[in-house]
A and B are shown apart, each in its own frame.
Chain A
Amino acid sequence: MSRLLLAVPAMLGVFVVVFFVIRMLPGDSAEAMLGASATDAQIETYRAAHGLDKPAPVQFWIALKNLFRGDLGDSLSHYRPVLSVVLERLPSTIELAAYGIVLGSVFAVILGVVAASFRGRWPDLIITAYSTFGMSLPTFYIGLWILMVFAVKLDVIPVSASAVEGLPRWKTLFGPVLTIVVGGSLVRTTRSAILEILEEDFIRTARAKGVPKALILFRHALGNALIPIITMVGYGLAVSFGGAIVLETVFGRSGVGKLLIDAITVRDYPLVQGTTFVIALFMIVANLLTDVAAGFADPRIRVAGAGEL
């Protein structure tokens, strides 16, 4: 509950910072929208029409009042309410984040457990090398390589998803999801969590009971490793919205991330404001979900509130 209350100042903070930072960028909407050939008079008229002629604090006050009425303003480049533009793009980004997180987590956890169980031997070395490689490369670079291989060489996916109509869903998701999977750091988290837990006394108990190795790994060790793993997955979910900016640009998906980049380019202040606001909201929701999920994985957190039996 207190977490929910803390979300309010966090959201306001994001709103304030974004508001002033975008206005510090050189150029403004009027120049960007009207182009280099616009006369001074045209620019003045445009600014007055969109309230951009007022001092920044006054603009901020108006935007804040609108925000509390649930109005994120009108987009300067889309000519309709920011909210409807963002909501239209949101499903695409959520879809990408969901597939990326789910597939990425399952894949990474399996690899991490396998690596831990072969500690120091060749499967571990290969998996560790692979994950270090994936983690140390920037997302856009991995994305470009995937495009090179799967779009240019093998031609199984399009170079730009939004440029082709009526694509099957998996073709639009394949590239960016694979990028998330390759670039994830969860393999190492899982591996080190499992290795640490394998040293615990209750693992010795399980072995003394005669529990087979696979069950020790997946039931006893992974069951306990879920707590750090969920924390990492939650973090991954939160940053996936930021990551969407790069992925959607590289793979040409029209999601929230691409929307933000385009909005910054044309200095569509209300749209930048609205998009970052929604992204921030998702990060906070992702954090809350993480806390709830961690509670389910760890009875010591869950039951603590319910009192001792």
Chain B
Amino acid sequence: MSDGQRLLEIKDLRISFSVGEDTVRAVNGVSLTLDRGEALGVVGESGCGKSVTFSSVMGLLPSPPAVIEGEIVFDGRDVTKLSDRQMRRVRGKDIAMIFQEPMRSLNPVMRIGNQIVEALLLHGAVSRGQVWTRALELLKLVEVPDAPSRLHCYPHQLSGGLRQRIMIAMALASQPRILLADEPTTALDVTIQAQILELLKRVQRETGMSIVIITHDLGVVADIVDNVAVFYAGVIVEKADKYSLFRSPMHPYTIGLLNCIPTLQTKRKRLYVIEGNIPDPARLPIGCAFSPRCAYATERCLTEKPETRECAPGHFCACHLAGQIDPLNP
């Protein structure tokens, strides 16, 4: 796609934290682009750097202790270089974020309406006279039933699903160009999960904004994203449009993740597991970070970090053996 379409570009992002003597390398050279209107799924296990990457896009990482290197170019500006004040104008206005725990992500002593109105007034999205009308519109947009009375509710009076809808309404208050959703459905019931994802998809279609859904569950996002980036130990090991990623995964880790989704056709008696744990981010392997868990690992994998290559058009993979592994018979 052309550069005119490009909204966000992350270039070789590295984020580390000093914890006592150790340096914890949470993100180790992530490069990523997001186009206007794109829906990107970001998948990986807990601690793989996916949330840290996008928190830094929002400027939400406390620095220090976080050390951020690389560039995060949003709309032609490197947001890592913005002052606190400038960043605040981007946060919530151009880039909005919703979080995993809707139960704890709303201020318990403020009425729902006031929290939405606060978001509306901060960025001057509407005039003072219009805020309550607009707040009501937002609640209707996110399909909150009985919206007028909900404005006067406190968060504890609402269910988790409703609270996440409120979070989305708040995020949409200033018509952001990117919505970052960090595990937006993880804490919710399965039926509610589907509703929230459906809502995100519809809102994205209607507003034309870009959306990033961060999740550990490939199955959750398959339906609503265009592209998927797979994170492992602070790097993107594979990125492609969802069809080629699901049909022909190249990285052994992605293959493993896909095999973890149980299907009725699966003849195996036991659920598939990827043996081992993600490496300690304070002590990363010299070679490929996945090599200690990888069934195909060679001598080269243990000593040499794989470069990200475009193995098929639009299909990127960071594995020495990309294209040589049969995903159907791992």
Contacts and interface: CB of A to CB of B under 8 A. Distances in A.
Interface of A: 200-202, 204-213, 219-220, 223-224, 226, 297-300, 303, 308-309
Contacts of B84: 213
B137 to A, nearest CB: 18
Given A200-B104, A223-B107, 10 more contacts: A201-B99, A202-B105, A204-B99, A205-B170, A209-B96, A209-B118, A210-B91, A210-B123, A224-B108, A298-B108
B88 A300 contact: no
Contacts of A213: 84
A209 B179 CA distance: 12
A211 B60 CA distance: 12
29 contacts: A200-B104, A201-B101, A201-B105, A202-B106, A202-B108, A204-B99, A205-B106, A205-B107, A207-B91, A208-B58, A208-B60, A209-B91, A209-B92, A209-B96, A209-B173, A210-B88, A210-B89, A210-B90, A210-B122, A210-B123, A211-B118, A213-B84, A220-B110, A223-B110, A224-B109, A298-B108, A299-B156, A308-B157, A309-B149
A228 to B, nearest CB: 13
A204 B109 CA distance: 15
Interface string B108-126: 1110000000110011000
A200 B106 CA distance: 10
B12 to A, nearest CB: 25
Nearest to A307: B157
A298 B109 contact: yes
B153 A209 contact: no
A309 B153 contact: yes
Closest 8 A/B residue pairs (Cβ): A210-B92, A201-B104, A209-B92, A210-B91, A299-B154, A208-B97, A202-B107, A201-B105
Contacts of B91: 207-210
Interface in B218-237: none
B156 to A, nearest CB: 5
Interface of B: 58, 60, 84, 88-93, 96-97, 99, 101, 104-110, 118-119, 122-123, 149, 153-154, 156-157, 167, 170-171, 173
A299 B155 CA distance: 10
Contacts of B157: 303, 308-309
A245 B141 CA distance: 62
Nearest to B58: A208
B154 A303 contact: yes
Contacts of B104: 200-202
Given A208-B58, A208-B97, A224 B107 contact: yes
A208 B123 CA distance: 12
Contact of B107 (A207, A210, A212, A220): A220
